[in-house]
């Protein structure tokens, strides 16, 4: 069982795509372990994107991520990180396959709707930025047995 952090970015919230994005992850078979609507503070955005500090896109990314509410969620399931990333599509929406979130709804790399952790260590760090352990719930669904052995 693996967990990943997903952020529906300001453009996804402003375009009223929250329900569609969540539905795609759930239809894929991933379980929601935590979910909240929030406004990311500048300090939190700077901490989240600290590895990119000094890069040309850093300031714009921080400004964008703090510009409007976002939805943050923790998804869990077998190979959750890879499954979520495939569901999102390539980072640049014009390179993302049709049927993916970014491929269906995005046009610009700076407005690509969703963020997803890229590896287990990143997921662990990112989840801890947005959720306290007691805010996460693990549970079994009746359908889980039909998704994997």
Alpha carbon distance 73, 55 (integer Å) = 27
Cα 65 to chain center, whole Å?
Answer: 13
Is there a domain that residue 99 lies in? yes
Residue 129 is part of which domain span? 2-38+70-139
State the DSSP H helix or E strand holding residue 6, giving kind and residue range, or none if neither.
Answer: strand 2-8
pTM recorded for the entire structure? 0.95
CB neighbours of 89 closer than 8 A, spacing ≥ 6? Answer: 96, 97, 100, 101, 102, 103, 106
Please count the structural domains in the chain.
1
Residue 59: per-residue pLDDT: 95
Walking along the chain (149 residues) 10 residues at a time, the average pLDDT comes out as: 97 98 97 98 97 94 97 97 98 97 95 97 98 96 86
pLDDT for residue 2: 97
Give the per-residue pLDDT at 147.
85
Q: How much is the pLDDT for 148?
A: 81
Q: Which pLDDT value is given to residue 145?
A: 86
Please list the residues that pair with 38 across neighbouring strands: 70
Residue 124, domain CATH: 3.30.70.141
52 a catalytic residue = no
Determine the distance from the C-alpha atom of residue 26 to the mean position of all C-alpha atoms in its chain, rounded to a whole number: 13
Q: Annotated catalytic residue: which of 39, 48, 92, 115?
A: 115
């Amino acid at each position: 069982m693996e967990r990943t952090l997903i952020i529906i970015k300001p453009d996804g919230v402003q375009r009223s795509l929250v329900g569609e994005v969540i539905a795609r992850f759930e239809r894929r078979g991933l379980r929601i372990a935590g979910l909240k609507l929030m406004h990311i503070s500048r300090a939190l955005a700077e901490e989240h994107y600290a590895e990119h500090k000094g890069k040309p896109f850093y300031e714009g990314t921080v400004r964008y991520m703090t510009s409007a509410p976002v939805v943050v969620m923790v998804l869990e399931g077998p190979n959750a990180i890879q499954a979520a990333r495939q569901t999102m599509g390539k980072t640049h929406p014009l390179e993302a396959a049709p049927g993916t979130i970014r491929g269906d709804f995005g046009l610009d790399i700076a407005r690509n709707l969703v963020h997803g952790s890229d590896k287990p260590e990143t997921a662990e760090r990112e989840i801890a930025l947005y959720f306290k352990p007691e805010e996460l719930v693990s549970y079994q669904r009746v359908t889980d047995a039909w998704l994997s052995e």
